[in-house]
Amino acid sequence: MSDPARITLVRGGEQALVDRAIASTVAGIRHSCPDVDRESVDASTDDAVHEFRNMCAPTLFGSDMIVVVTGLQSAEDAFADALTEVLADQPENVWLVLHHDATAGGKKLLEAVRAAGASEVECLAVKKGKAAIEVISQEFARRKRRATSDAINVLYESVGHDLPMLFAAVGQLVADIDDDPITEVHVHAYFAGVADVAGWQIADHVWNRRPAQALESVRHAAATGNASGVGVMSVLAMMSAVRNIIRVGGLGPGASDADVARELGIPPWKDKVSSLRQQWSRWSGDQRRLAASLVELADAEALMKGGLEPGQALDVEQKLFELEKLVVSTGGR
């Protein structure tokens, strides 16, 4: 294993990746130097210059030190001068881990850090879709596990574009599932009790016109998870899905999968676009019913969030009953 870089620049504003990069860098240094201490300073604070100089100052016993500096983009001139001095004559017992959020501030300081030979780690914002899927795949690889593309797709669609939650979900799957690779079945089973995931599954059954399976999923979600949240999340998932189905129909059969994904702002997964097109084909000959379902969903959203009249909220059992009626009537032919 090569010696860790004396200066590491972590650049970008994707906080989950920034935290991961800093932790990984610190761990690498400690692997090489187990007794090293760590101190942190925010370059934008009033006492930053004084704290930073003390951290980097020679000590009587020459103890090793990792100095993590955040907020380089907001550093005042005095701090920039102090850091530049340390970069020009870096103590042998000090490792610098520096974070800049990749905004416009602190450009000269950023150039100075690079000129000093810093090893750079990019943590730029992760775009929705393909880029996020790649990050999830890398997270499985980092944990030395494999997951099928379907499993990764379902995980992303279930959890949403929230990197800390996605990383936590990957960690839970890896810790609890021994099978390799982890599959779509594992993801569905693991998150069966989560209301928003259940809502997505229920919506999928409804728009595939499988009312029996939709009803079964409603009852399973209520029995195994947070019953009070199933109604709201299911209706919201159904509303989101039907909007995409209608937009797919509006694009026409000549649109490519890439065109559909780009227009809808969804990940360009072949199976996802194909699924939406299949759902449109099931409804294209019944567009009056599809239009009527939008009105029913709007009414159902009000029911799930409260009741028919102000101050008359439905209880959990009443909401589940209304949801069951909705999925059967909407998904049926």
Answer yes or no: do 248 and 271 share one domain.
yes
In the chain, how many domains are there? 3
Answer yes or no: do 221 and 311 share one domain.
yes
Q: Tell me which residues of the chain have a pLDDT lower than 50.
A: 195
The per-residue pLDDT for 1 is 55
Answer yes or no: do 306 and 205 share one domain.
yes
122, 141, 159: which is the final residue of a domain? 122
Nearest CA among 188, 186, 163 for reference residue 175: 186
Answer yes or no: do 266 and 180 share one domain.
no
* Angle, vertex CA 4, rays to CA 104 and CA 175, nearest 5: 90
Residue 1 covered by a domain = no
The per-residue pLDDT for 201 is 80
Residue 72 covered by a domain = yes
Q: Residue 85: which domain range?
A: 7-122
Answer yes or no: do 258 and 325 share one domain.
yes
Answer yes or no: do 186 and 199 share one domain.
no
Answer yes or no: do 218 and 105 share one domain.
no
How many CB atoms within 10 Å of residue 215? 19
Residue 2 covered by a domain = no
**Tens-digit pLDDT profile for residues 305-325:** 765 555 567 788 888 899 999
Q: Give the CATH number of the domain where residue 59 resides.
A: 3.40.50.300
Mean pLDDT for the chain overall: 85
The per-residue pLDDT for 252 is 80
**Tens-digit pLDDT profile for residues 93-102:** 899 999 999 9
* N residues, the chain: 333
Residue 273 corresponds to which tokens in the numbers above?
A: 């676009």
Nearest CA among 97, 95, 139, 157 for reference residue 121: 97
Residue 313 covered by a domain = yes
141, 164, 190: which is the final residue of a domain? 190
